[in-house]
Amino acid sequence: MTTGAGMQGVHARAPGKINVFLKVGQVMDDGYHDVATAYQAVSLHEDVFAYEASDFSVTLSGSIDTIDVPTDGSNLAIKAARALARKTGYRGGVRLEIEKHVPVAGGMGGGSADAAATLLACDALWGTECSREELLAIAAKLGADVPFAFTGGTAVGTGRGDQLSPALATGHFQWVLAFAEFGMSTPKVYSELDRHRERHAQDIFPTPAQPTVDANVLQALRSGDPRLLAESLHNDLQAAALHLAPGLTNVLELGEENGALAGIVSGSGPTVAFLAADVDAALELQVALSAARVTVARATGPVHGARLIHD
């Protein structure tokens, strides 16, 4: 891609994600919760275009409202570019143009996808030639979900969610994603979970000492059977998200009444991910939810992680 001035740019793309399983443990010394999650990258992407510049800047466009996304140094893509420049000693800057299609503060890792794509784009633009391992190490310092946006596919995440192990998935799963008109703060949802557990007896909602991903989830992913996966979907953060945003309960019920095999709040929410039996069922569900004035998109998973696009 080129700008109007003819300057060459680099185009990179990274996917959003769904946590098909998320177990939350205790708070660790670094302030993050110990988690065990099964990620699936889905075909809702963020596109990052990087151009040579003397400073660091970002502009935003796309199919979603970006009014709440910062464009200053607190933007995760800017942080990613600066981190790569520091790591490699690169003295220039970058002008980033991001086309966003993953909901903002929606529990699908849109900001993480921006950061992962930016690392790949800037490395190519600047010719810094970092290894995959070096880029992943930078990604892990930027945020818990950034390494997965970089690798994509299906994976188990432990620790903060950034210690990844590939998980085998066969076939493709059909998802219908219901978007909210608001975002949710991930730290607030985790804090609400902590309060939720404190409000109830520990023997009713115990905090797992060492969270693990259920073997049934991994078997369902391996089999490629959406019905098996529907039975195994789980998110410890869902109760907290529903407490903060009770209207999501109606969305979950609406989807399941209209043919979804199961619905789950994705990550910290508020996006609700519905698993459909096949493409036809996903189309029918998309139409039904749209008729009920729910903003929806269809997606498939798993898909590749961050990659360069040669336009």
Q: Mind telling me the catalytic residues?
A: 17, 145
φ, ψ (nearest 5 deg) of residue 50? -115, 135
Residue 301 neighbours by CB under 8 Å, 6+ apart: 18, 40, 41, 42, 43, 154, 172, 173, 175
Instruction: Answer for the pair 13, 48: CB distance below 8 angstroms, yes or no.
Output: yes
